[in-house]
Each structure stands twice: as structure tokens, then as C-alpha cells.
Structure 1
Amino acid sequence: MADMCGRYAASRGPEEIAEAFGVRHLEESAVLPADWNVAPTKEVYAVLDRPLKGSDDPAPVRQLRVLRWGLVPSWAKSPEIAVKMINARAETVHEKPSYRRPFVARRCLLPADGYYEWATGDAEREQEVKGKRKRPRKQPYFVTPSDGSVMAMAGLYEFWRDPSLPEDHPRAWWATCSVITTEAEGTELPRPAGNEGPRTLADIHPRMPLILPPDRWDAWLDPSRTDPEELRALLEPPPPGAVRAYPVSTEVSNVRNNGPQLTEELAAPEETTLF
């Protein structure tokens, strides 16, 4: 079972993100277009605390950086591993070889409007159509903060040196990231009167990205915090009702589709179609 779908929406500009997270430094190149269908290997915004490049001051500064989604460990022989490294499980992030070093030294927040997840359960059941076994198309849901605020997904980042390029080449170093995930069980969703939708996020999918509330941002980003157990204590799911989930068009299932219409709420899940 995959940790999460690997797709989210990020339409906020750098200035809005900087204000929300108290960013003090914006990279000149940190300008990405609004994206309502962010997929693995794309460039994404990340908020992190670290000394400024080229500065003599060792004090960490809150920055907005552009990273590539899909972590490439520093010891990797090739960046091709990135597509398998989009998620890091909260339960084992402190001990896995690919993640344990960045967990204690290179943590970040990945701003989002929300993320997409495709419902499992009944959608997994095969159906017989004209004598052939078929699987119904899964219904996508959009999960977003109930109050409309920015979603801060806990992440890790890492640097990888491309040995095939000279040191001064602009692409000699890769800056990559991964989203930390956790169990969705117990994450209750608000249910308006008459709503027959999912009661918890686990009704949609058993895993979810680890969403951190503002009161944990400073502690998570602080590079001076290196005790694994203290850091793991920060990885708690959001409180009940903090996020809501609603069905959206299956257009989001195709990564080539983009635009704000992908996050528009449907009155009910789309009629099941078959591959």
C-alpha cells in the first residue's frame, strides 16, 4: 500500500508563503507558477531554517527555497531513486538509512493548499464487464485545512552531488525533499448535517501526510534540535476537524491536467467508471 497518492495543490505565491511562515529570505530564483497538480519530481516550495549561502554568519535564517520532490540520499549513485523517495514514514523515519541523517539535521515544511487522495475500499473491488475483470476508477478527494489556511506538510531535504558534472556547473548539486506520512486512523473530519461522506481520513486512505500546526513550526525547523525522540514527539496527527475532505473531478488523475477547477468540490462522488 502506497503511503499517499503523491499529488497536491500549491497555488500560493512566494510573498504569501513568506508572510504565513515568517520567512526572512527569499531565493531570487524561488518563483514557481501556481500548480494545482503537483506531482513527484516537480520543483516545489519549501520553508527551512539554515545559514544563508555565502554568508559568514552561521546563524540559521528562515528561507523559502525551491526543492525537487523526491529525496535523493547523499550516498545515492543516481538520482533515479528519487521517484521512490517521495514519502518517509513517521514511524521509521529516524532509523531508515535514507532519512535518519536529514531527520536530525535537515527538516522543512512544504506549503500546500491541500493534497489529493484516491479512495480505496469499495473502489478496489474488481468488477466483471463483458466477461472481463475490471477495476472501477478510484474517486479522488481533496483534503484541505478546514479554516482555509495554508497546509504545512512536514518534510525532509537533502543535497546530492552529481559526479558527472564539474563542481561549478549550475546543476552539479541537487536539492531534494520528501514528505513525512503517518497513519490516518483517528483523524476525524467535520460532517455537515446530512453529509454521508467519510467520517475519518482513514475512510479514504490509511495513510496521510504529516500536517504540522503553526505552534510546532519553529521547533520542527530548528536545526539545533537533534534528539530523535524529541523530534518524533512533534509528529502527531492534526486535531479532529482540522482538515476537511471532499470529492473532486477525476481529471486530477491525469498529471497533464491543471488549474483551480481540479480542487472544486463536487456535490457527490462521480459515477463509477471502468478502465
Structure 2
Amino acid sequence: MCGRYAASRRPEELTGIFGIQRWDPKETLAPSWNIAPTDNVRVVLERPLKGEAAAAFPPGPVRQLRTLKWGLVPSWSKSPEAAAKMINARAETVHEKPSFRQAFATRRCLLPGDGYFEWVTDAAERELEEQGRRKRPRKQPYFVTPVDGSVMAMAGLYEFWRDRTLPGDHPLAWWATCTVVTTEAETTPLAGATGGEGPQSLAEIHPRMPLVLPPDRWDAWLDPARTDPDEVRELLAPPPAGLMRAHPVPTGVSNVRNDGPELVTELDGPEVGTLF
């Protein structure tokens, strides 16, 4: 799964990387190294503009950098309460699940990030738990990030939900939300893995990982005219192995109230661990 990630690039940089045609400075988010479910996040999407904003562009979809809430609320949902539970959508079933099916066909996006976090319980902690000597095993956070330092473009879906308890022109009447598509984690050795302590593959960290799309799939994934489910599913193939690395980071990231670049600092080895 993906339940916490970092995104520190400025909008100006993302504009160049993704070929953004429009972004609203009023929607700018501060860099964050500890993004959590229900936070506002940046996404790249393509859709037509409306009103005065559309006059500056040719007819048709416009590639935009938008701010959405992480945790998808289906358009047919009676309330937004389930948003925190819909931060991820499984690549294997996203095309058939009622909550994601329509968004998968027509409302796909990319979530730019620096990397994502997962927590690992080592063998010693698991043994203590099995022996009943540890009720809550301590876990070590790891940061998974592209080897070359490039942006991590996570496949995502977005949706609009209307709060019908409010007038249509109320600023909170419409919710724009998103989810991250996940896939099976790689079992191939991680870049830099030495066979010593620590996970040797992404699958040893967690069985699931965000579906990171390489640049040659961005255009097809974002294209809202590409609506055939079978055609879109072809884009869900995992990227080539060996593109990601993982390193232990300070346990401070386990507290969602903490933020800052120090949370992705690479440690020489695992810390004592943290309850999470």
C-alpha cells in the first residue's frame, strides 16, 4: 500500500517535468516530507477548462497541476466519511470495483512525489511478539525513492463529489479527491542491497507498492479520451525493476505532525525502532 509519502518539488519544476499548461498559484502547496491520508496533494490531470479560464486555450483537455484531497470519495457516495479508507486502489481490480470503475475509465491522474514510506518489523521484534514479550512490535520506517533522484509519478484516479446539503455555489459544495493505484511490490534485489541487514527487496518491506509510471506512459495514462478498460489496463504493467532504492530513516516520520527534509535522511542502519 501507500499511506505516507514526500513531495517537495516546487510547482515551477513540476510544470517543466510534466508539461503543465495551467496551474493556479492560489492552489500552491508548501513542500511536505510527511504527506498523510486526507491531506491536500498535488496531482497532474487533463480535462477541459470552463468559464473565463478556457478562453486562453484551444478546445479540449488541458494538462493541469491541481490540488486535491487524498482519499477518494465516489460521486455516488452519500457522505465523504469513507475517504480515509480509499487512499489506494489495487491495479488488479481497479477496473471493476464500483468505487473506482468510472474514474479508471475517464479520470486518471499522476501524483508527483519524491518517494514513499513503509514500516518494517524485523525478525527480532517478531520473535518477541510471538513469545508474548512484546504486545506492539517496534517498526523501522524506510523511504523508497527513485535511484536516479527523478520524480516518482504515481498512477492515480480522481473524482468529484457534491455535498447536497450545501448550495451549489458554496465554496465547499464540491470535493475533488484522489487515490493512488498500487501493485505487487518488486521481488528483485534493491539497488545497493548487500545481503546484510535490512530488506533486500521492496516485497520484503511491504507486499504492495505504488504503481510508478515511467515517462513514456504519462501521456496515455492522462488522456481522458482513452476510455476502453482493456486498453487502459495495459498501462498498469509494473515499471522495469531496479528503478527504486530504499533506506532507513528517522522514526520521527511515524508522527504525522512532524515534517521537514530531515525525515528522509538516510541512516547508516535501523534505529531502535518506533511504535506505529
> Fold-level match, TM-score > 0.5?
yes
**Counterparts of 1:232 and 1:212, CA distance in 2:** 13
Structure 1 residues 131, 142: closer, same or farther in 2, change over 3 A? closer
Aligned position for 1:102: 103
Q: Does the 8 A contact of 1:180 with 1:210 survive in 2?
A: yes
Structure 1 residues 124, 96: closer, same or farther in 2, change over 3 A? farther
Partner of residue 32 from structure 1, selected from 26, 29, 34: 29
Structure 1 residues 53, 28: closer, same or farther in 2, change over 3 A? farther
TM-score under structure 1 length normalisation: 0.93
Structure 1 residues 242, 273: closer, same or farther in 2, change over 3 A? closer
Partner of residue 18 from structure 1, selected from 6, 15, 18: 15
Q: Does the 8 A contact of 1:191 with 1:197 survive in 2?
A: no
**Counterparts of 2:226 and 2:130, CA distance in 1:** 56
Structure 1 residues 225, 124: closer, same or farther in 2, change over 3 A? farther
Q: Does the 8 A contact of 2:154 with 2:213 survive in 1?
A: yes
Which range is displaced more, 24-33 or 184-193?
Answer: 184-193
Partner of residue 38 from structure 2, selected from 36, 41, 44: 41
Q: Does the 8 A contact of 2:121 with 2:137 survive in 1?
A: no
Aligned partner of residue 177 in structure 1, secondary structure: strand
Q: CA deviation at 1:8?
A: 0.3
Q: CA deviation at 1:164?
A: 1.2
**Counterparts of 1:131 and 1:195, CA distance in 2:** 27
Please give the residue correspondences for 1:1-275 in structure 2 after superposition, counting only pairs within 5 Å.
Answer: 3-4=1-2, 6-54=3-51, 55=54, 58-120=59-121, 122=123, 125=126, 127=128, 133-191=134-192, 196-272=197-273
Number of residue pairs matched by the alignment: 272
Q: Does the 8 A contact of 1:187 with 1:238 survive in 2?
A: no
Q: CA deviation at 1:90?
A: 0.2
**Counterparts of 1:118 and 1:59, CA distance in 2:** 43
Structure 1 residues 59, 123: closer, same or farther in 2, change over 3 A? farther
Q: Does the 8 A contact of 1:30 with 1:65 survive in 2?
A: yes
Q: CA deviation at 1:13?
A: 1.1
Aligned partner of residue 118 in structure 1, secondary structure: strand
Which range is displaced more, 177-186 or 205-214?
Answer: 177-186
Q: CA deviation at 1:187?
A: 4.8
TM-score under structure 2 length normalisation: 0.92
- How big is each residue's C-alpha offset from its partner over 1:156-179, in whole Å with a ceiling of 9 and x where there is no partner? 000000111111111110000000
Q: CA deviation at 1:119?
A: 1.5
- How big is each residue's C-alpha offset from its partner over 1:38-60, in whole Å with a ceiling of 9 and x where there is no partner? 00000000000111132375411
Aligned partner of residue 237 in structure 1, secondary structure: coil
**Counterparts of 1:234 and 1:123, CA distance in 2:** 40
What residue ranges of structure 1 are gaps of 5+ in the alignment? Answer: none
Q: Does the 8 A contact of 2:122 with 2:139 survive in 1?
A: no
Which range is displaced more, 233-242 or 14-23?
Answer: 233-242
**Counterparts of 1:194 and 1:130, CA distance in 2:** 27
Aligned partner of residue 20 in structure 2, secondary structure: coil
- How big is each residue's C-alpha offset from its partner over 1:54-90, in whole Å with a ceiling of 9 and x where there is no partner? 2375411110000000000001111111011000000
**Counterparts of 1:152 and 1:35, CA distance in 2:** 16
> Identity across aligned pairs (percent)?
69
Structure 1 residues 134, 116: closer, same or farther in 2, change over 3 A? same
Query: CA RMSD of the aligned region, Å?
Result: 2.1
**Counterparts of 1:59 and 1:23, CA distance in 2:** 15
Q: Which AA in structure 1 matches 2:33?
A: W
